[in-house]
């Protein structure tokens, strides 16, 4: 069941992102097109984003496994090709204190440590596979959007730098204004020196080209209509053909539906995230706002803003919101974001935007990602729900799943926040109302605290 407007699931439609206009097309022969006839493989993968492409690459390259990947749209069509390009951590909606309270200090440390590895994995993949990810920034900034939030950044820095050993430091409002930028919602920041920005669609297409070079068969425009079981084999049926495999990876994230009868969709909360991009800014316009940095930034609002200057001096500005996915609500969201961009960065209130797009962030009720094998469905594996920080977490999850499937490790050895199925959301048909109530509450809190 889907509860957003049908256009959000139309894999034949371009996302309309700036990334689509700025990324070179896939090399010839990488996307083999819609599957036809019947084929067999060792591992079939459903989903052609970071998770699926990374799993395909690592299975084929490192373990010499025969892989066939099916993607409903073009490769990288989903969140992997349309996100903000923040390569950072952690992929969770829980605070560090909540992680420690729920899972214990050792498991929280393992979880954060795995995501330090995840950021480094992105760098290594770009280097080893010659992927032009267009890296930017010597870290990312988490910016206090009001003075009272600055103290919370100090506490977070103490945890990240102390218990978890990350290269972080707190910057005062004056320091941020001197070295990075200033705005009406800049009251100091936490600098994470590990993270950086990149071009998400170039990364996705680079992963696809690397996987294809290693022999993985990648089929775009191959939506899986149904799943059948035939003895020890799983049969993935598309409009044009069938793929038979003993093992299947579900890597569909916020676009997960219940063709498999896995019950996964009822355990996930897709949340729309929206992005606008301006025309290139002039040097005078950058100077007027005091913008001097390539560090990607997000702020401490519960309904966060995230933003960064792109290599050609366009400005990217993102926000959560919109409960329906309807085109008319998208237009309203675009107008809201253009207004808020001008209120936060007052010197750019006149600057027009050239692109607007949106897509799904995938969340769970427990607010952590999920990696595992579906109970009572042997051979069906999953990795998903990165809570808006999947640029590094998803490739790491794909690599990790590849290792586990070939027997290099055990699922029970994963850091605890990743393990097993997330809990089922009560009355999943009411998810829109749950989300609406949460967004309304957070909007009210942000408004009250900014007053």
pLDDT in tens, 330-376: 999 999 999 999 999 999 999 999 999 999 999 999 999 999 999 88
Q: Where are the domains of the chain?
A: 37-83+201-266+372-435
CB atoms within 10 A of CB 294: 17
Average pLDDT of the residues of the chain = 92
Q: Which CATH code for domain 37-83+201-266+372-435?
A: 3.50.50.60
pLDDT at 189 over 60: yes
> Tokens 């952690």 — which residue?
90
Please choose, from the candidates 82, 81, 86, 79, the residue with its C-alpha nearest in 3D space to the C-alpha of residue 297: 86
> Would you say residue 449 has pLDDT above 70?
no
**pLDDT value at position 431?**
54
- Using DSSP bridges, classify how beta strands 67-70 and 217-219 pair: parallel, antiparallel or unpaired: parallel
> What average pLDDT does range 281-305 have in this prediction?
94
Mean pLDDT of 62-68: 98
Average pLDDT over residues 311-319: 97
pLDDT of residue 441: 39
H/E element holding 140? strand 140-143
Return the pLDDT at 2. 66
Angle at which helices 390-405 and 50-63 cross, to 10°: 40
Q: Is the pLDDT of residue 429 over 90?
A: no
Q: How many CA atoms lie within 13 A of 119 on its CB side?
A: 24
pLDDT tens digits along 215-228 = 999 999 999 999 98
Residue 261 has pLDDT above 80, yes or no: no
Higher-confidence position of 429 and 301: 301
Average pLDDT over residues 110-122: 98
Other C-beta atoms within 10 Å of 230: how many?
9
Q: In angstroms, how far is the first alpha carbon of the chain from the final one?
A: 40
Alpha helices of 183-282 — where are they, by DSSP H?
Answer: 200-213
Q: Residue 15 pLDDT more than 70?
A: yes
More confident site: 448 or 336: 336
Please tell me which residue, 39 or 442, carries the higher pLDDT value. Answer: 39
């Amino acid at each position: 069941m889907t509860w957003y407007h049908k256009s959000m699931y139309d894999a034949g439609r371009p996302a309309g992102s700036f990334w689509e206009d700025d990324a070179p097309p896939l090399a010839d022969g990488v996307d083999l097109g819609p599957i036809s006839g019947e084929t067999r493989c060792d591992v079939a993968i459903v989903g052609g984003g970071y998770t699926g492409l990374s799993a395909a690459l690592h299975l084929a390259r490192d373990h010499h496994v025969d892989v066939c990947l099916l993607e409903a749209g073009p490769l990288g069509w989903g969140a992997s090709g349309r996100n903000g390009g923040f390569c950072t951590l952690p992929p969770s909606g829980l605070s560090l204190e909540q992680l420690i309270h729920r899972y214990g200090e050792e498991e929280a440390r393992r979880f954060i440590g795995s995501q330090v590895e995840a950021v480094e994995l992105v760098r290594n993949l770009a280097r080893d596979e010659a992927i032009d990810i267009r890296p930017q920034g010597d870290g990312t900034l988490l910016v206090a959007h009001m003075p009272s939030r600055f103290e919370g950044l100090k506490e977070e820095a103490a945890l990240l730098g102390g218990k978890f050993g990350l290269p972080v430091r707190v910057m005062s409002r004056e320091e941020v204004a001197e070295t990075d930028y200033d705005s009406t919602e800049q009251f100091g920041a936490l600098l994470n020196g590990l993270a950086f920005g990149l071009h998400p669609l170039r990364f996705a297409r680079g992963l696809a080209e690397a996987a294809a070079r290693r022999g993985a068969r990648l089929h775009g425009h191959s939506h899986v209509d149904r799943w059948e079981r035939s003895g020890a084999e799983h049969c993935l049926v598309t409009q044009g053909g069938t793929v038979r495999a003993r093992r299947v990876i579900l890597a569909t994230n916020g676009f997960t539906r219940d063709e498999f009868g896995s019950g996964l969709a009822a355990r996930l909360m897709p949340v729309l995230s929206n992005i606008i991009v301006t025309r290139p800014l002039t040097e005078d316009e950058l100077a007027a706002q005091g913008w001097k940095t390539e560090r990607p930034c997000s702020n401490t609002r519960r309904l966060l803003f995230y933003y960064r200057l792109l290599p050609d001096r366009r400005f990217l500005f993102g926000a959560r919101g919109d409960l329906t996915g309807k085109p008319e609500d998208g237009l309203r969201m675009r107008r809201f974001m253009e207004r808020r961009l001008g209120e936060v960065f007052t010197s750019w209130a006149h600057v027009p935007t050239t692109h607007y797009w949106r897509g799904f962030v995938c969340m769970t009720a427990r607010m952590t990602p999920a990696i595992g094998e579906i109970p009572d469905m042997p051979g069906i594996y999953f990795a998903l729900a990165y809570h808006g920080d999947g640029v590094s977490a998803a490739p790491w999850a794909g690599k990790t799943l590849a290792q586990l499937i070939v027997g290099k490790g055990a699922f029970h050895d994963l850091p605890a926040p990743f393990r097993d199925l997330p809990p089922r959301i009560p009355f999943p048909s009411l998810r829109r109302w749950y989300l609406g109530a949460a967004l309304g509450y957070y909007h009210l809190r942000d408004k009250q605290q900014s007053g």
